[in-house]
Each structure stands twice: as C-alpha cells, then as structure tokens.
Amino acid sequence: MAAIDPRVAQVLDSRRTEHDSDDEDALIAELEEDDDGAFSALREKRLEQLHAEVSRAKLMKETLHGTYMEIKDERQLMDITTSTKLCVVHFMKPDFNRCRIMDEKLKVLAEKHFDTRFVNINVENAPFLVVKLNVKVLPCVLTFKDGVSSDRIIGFEGIGWKPDSFTTSELEARLLASGVLLRPKMTDD
C-alpha cells in the first residue's frame, strides 16, 4: 500500500478528532485551501519553464532553425556545423534526381524539428570538404553533433525497404537512430 501524503494524513487526523464524518467534498476543499501556497509555487515554476521555452524558440527561429537552406560557402558550412549542437548537412548536386528527392524530404523534416539545423551545399561549392569528409556518392547526408560528424547516409542506403524510394518517416527514423533528431514528429507522408 502506498504511503499517504503527509498533508492528507494531517487533514484526515484533524477531521477525525473534530467529527468522525467522511465528507469527501469537505476534505477536498480543505486540502485545496491548505495547498494554495504549493499550487502557486508550482504555477510560478511552470510559468518560468514556459517563458524559457518561448525564449529558446525565438532564439532558434533567429538562427534559422526550422528552415532548410542552401549554403554557398564551405567556410560558412563549417561555422554552422561547429556552432550548432545538432546539424544535418546534405551534400548534393542540383541536377541529380536523387538529390532533389532527398532535398524534399529534408525540407519537410526541417520544418518539424526546430532543435536540429538542416542545410545543404552543392558539392561544386565545397571541394575541400568533399575531399576531407570523403564524399564520393550523392546524395550524401552527414549528421553532426556538437561539431563532430556522427553518421552518414550514402545515397538512399539504410532508409526504407525499397532501394530507390523511401518515406519521410523512414528518413526521420534513420536520423532519430543517429541521435541528431530528438523525438519523432512525422505522422505520415
């Protein structure tokens, strides 16, 4: 049997000495009056949490979280990956059909996952990073956690059951497994 809350026990004991009645409504009213201080403290704490969350959301929006943008310069890409806690980078070529498919899926995910920064870069604009990060097959998606590469998706490898197609939910599941997304948000495609 679970222990009774000390305040409830105190009210029950005081009521037993006054009257031996089991009037539940009176007991609840007495507990509510007694807990006003506790409820207001909880309310204040929750308001502080909500205020902090709104501030964090504003900061994320200012730093372009929730968008999927093309980076033109590899120096800028390095700055983003090292200054952002969670980042997904798509190395692509605009005229490759598979890269366009990956772009569409990543754009949908970017709009739902504010905690992760989503960017893409044309491989022609990033010759140093292509060599340094060993990008050989397109599309190539690299995930970064705290500035360190943590996973890579080469082509459509490891996403879905069919080799040439996949759903956004399947891509989300793969990114969740790599730890770059915090929780699932896709309901269906």
For 75-90, how does the pLDDT look when each residue is reduced to its tens digit (9 = 90+)? 999 999 999 999 999 9
At 159, the amino acid letter reads I
- Dump pLDDT digits (tens) for 102-154: 999 999 999 999 889 999 999 999 999 999 999 999 999 999 999 999 999 99
Place of tokens 């909500």: 50
Whether the CA torsion 94, 66, 162, 133 is positive or negative: it is: positive
Least confident of 25-29, 62-66, 147-151, 178-182: 25-29
Count CB-CB contacts under 10 A for residue 82.
12
Do the domain assignments include residue 118? Answer: yes
Q: Is 70 inside a domain boundary?
A: yes
Helices of type H across the chain: 6-18, 24-34, 36-62, 74-83, 97-112, 127-132, 168-178
> Are 24 and 53 within one domain?
yes
Q: How many CB atoms lie within 10 A of CB 139?
A: 25
Q: Which pLDDT score, from 0 to 100, does residue 23 have?
A: 62
Is 184 part of any domain? no
User: pLDDT (tens digit, 9 = 90+) per residue, 88-102?
Assistant: 999 999 999 999 999
Phi, psi at residue 21, to the nearest 5°?
A: -95, 150
Residue 55 tokens read as: 């501030």
Domain that holds residue 19: 6-60
Strand partners, 122: 92
CATH code for the domain in which residue 114 is found: 3.40.30.10
Is 30 among the domain residues?
Answer: yes
Number of independent structural domains in the chain = 2
Tokens 């040439």 sit on residue: 164
pTM of the prediction?
0.72
**Per-residue confidence (pLDDT) for residue 53, from 0 to 100:** 79
Q: Look at residue 170 and tell me whether its pLDDT is greater than 70.
A: yes
- Find which of 47-61, 63-77, 118-132 is predicted with most confidence, using mean pLDDT: 118-132
pLDDT of residue 3: 59
* Same structural domain, 129 and 52: no
Give the tens place of pLDDT for each residue, 17-38.
455 455 667 767 766 666 566 6
Examine the domain organization and report whether 75 and 168 are in the same domain.
yes
